[in-house]
């Protein structure tokens, strides 16, 4: 009797009904869980952005952003990452009807673009360090290397994940678990592009205006 009442009378707590509804779909649970991870990763980036913001004018007599940043290089990197976002989108579109070869090709293009991005970033770091703009030179540079380096590490992890997925698709095809993993990887990749918008705006562009 009690259960019948619970079913007929609308539950006043809306969120519990929703949570109950989604307990059945494990796929939906994974994607929501991964979304929550991305949000917590965003908070991690927020903390590093905040520390960079606080330290951004602590030059300690060392180089200022205007002296060391090369905007054409940053523009190139931004373009690479933006194009890699759309190529991942093409991979997702090929994944839906189950086109294995096309999906793999677009994933490979995305990984190569990601590697180009990391390569340009490492070149930038190398030339900065060669000029004496090392992380230990000033608070500004510590914050800069931490923030940009952390984003670069994320992209590197994303590239490794793409290659893992290429191997998994190669072995087992576009089965449902692989589709689910690709959707998570896609969210991760697009999320990194969103973080990069913050990096090029707050670190590079606003740095050049300071």
Does 117 participate in binding another protein (rule CB under 8 A)? no
Interatomic CA distance for residues 178 and 27, integer angstroms = 11
| C-alpha to C-alpha distances, 96 to 87, 159, 173, 186, 197, nearest whole angstrom | 15, 21, 13, 13, 28
Site for another protein in 177-196 (CB under 8 A): 177, 179-180, 183, 187, 190-191, 193-194
Does 172 participate in binding another protein (rule CB under 8 A)? no
In the 8-state DSSP scheme, what is residue 11? Answer: P
Judged by CB, which is closer to another protein: 48, or 108?
A: 48
Interatomic CA distance for residues 151 and 67, integer angstroms = 23
Diameter of the chain measured on Cα atoms: 78
Judged by CB, which is closer to another protein: 2, or 100?
A: 100
- Residue where the block lists tokens 């969120």: 15
Does 100 participate in binding another protein (rule CB under 8 A)? no
- Residue where the block lists tokens 């000033």: 138
> Minimum distance between the CB of residue 91 and another protein, rounded to whole angstroms?
11
Judged by CB, which is closer to another protein: 71, or 122?
A: 71
Does 27 participate in binding another protein (rule CB under 8 A)? yes
In the 8-state DSSP scheme, what is residue 135? Answer: T
Residue from 36, 153, 157, 160 touching another protein (CB under 8 A): that is: 36
Residue from 6, 11, 16, 32 touching another protein (CB under 8 A): that is: 32
Residues with Cβ within 8 Å of 187's Cβ and at least 6 positions away in sequence, in order, are 31, 34, 35, 38
Query: Per this entry, what is the length of the chain?
Result: 210
Does 35 participate in binding another protein (rule CB under 8 A)? yes
Does 173 participate in binding another protein (rule CB under 8 A)? no
Does 90 participate in binding another protein (rule CB under 8 A)? yes
Residues with Cβ within 8 Å of 117's Cβ and at least 6 positions away in sequence, in order, are 77, 80, 81, 84, 155
Does 57 participate in binding another protein (rule CB under 8 A)? yes
Handedness of CA 49, 54, 55, 61 (dihedral sign): positive
Note the residues at the interface with another protein (CB under 8 A): 18, 21-22, 24-28, 31-32, 35-36, 39, 42-43, 46-47, 49-51, 53-54, 57-61, 71, 75, 78-79, 82, 85-86, 89-90, 92-93, 96, 138-139, 142, 175-177, 179-180, 183, 187, 190-191, 193-194, 197-198, 200-202, 205-206, 208-210
């Amino acid at each position: 009797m009690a259960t019948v009442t619970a079913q007929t009378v609308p539950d006043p707590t809306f969120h519990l009904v929703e949570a109950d509804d989604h307990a059945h779909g494990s796929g939906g649970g994974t994607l929501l869980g991964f979304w929550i991870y991305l949000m917590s990763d965003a908070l991690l980036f927020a903390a590093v952005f905040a520390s960079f913001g606080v330290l951004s004018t602590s030059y300690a007599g060392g180089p200022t952003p205007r002296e060391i940043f090369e905007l054409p290089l940053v523009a190139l990197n931004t373009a690479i990452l933006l194009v890699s976002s759309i190529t991942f989108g093409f991979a997702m579109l090929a994944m839906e009807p189950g086109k294995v070869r096309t999906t793999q090709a677009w994933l490979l293009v995305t990984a190569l673009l990601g590697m180009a991005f990391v390569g340009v970033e490492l070149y930038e770091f190398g030339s900065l360090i060669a000029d004496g703009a090392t992380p230990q030179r000033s608070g500004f540079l510590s914050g800069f290397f931490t923030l940009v380096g952390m984003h670069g590490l994320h992209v590197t992890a994303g590239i490794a994940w793409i290659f893992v997925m290429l191997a998994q698709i190669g072995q087992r095809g576009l089965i449902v678990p692989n589709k689910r993993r690709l959707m998570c990887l896609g969210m991760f990749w697009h999320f990194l592009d969103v973080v990069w918008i913050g990096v090029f705006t707050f670190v590079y562009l606003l740095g050049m205006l300071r």
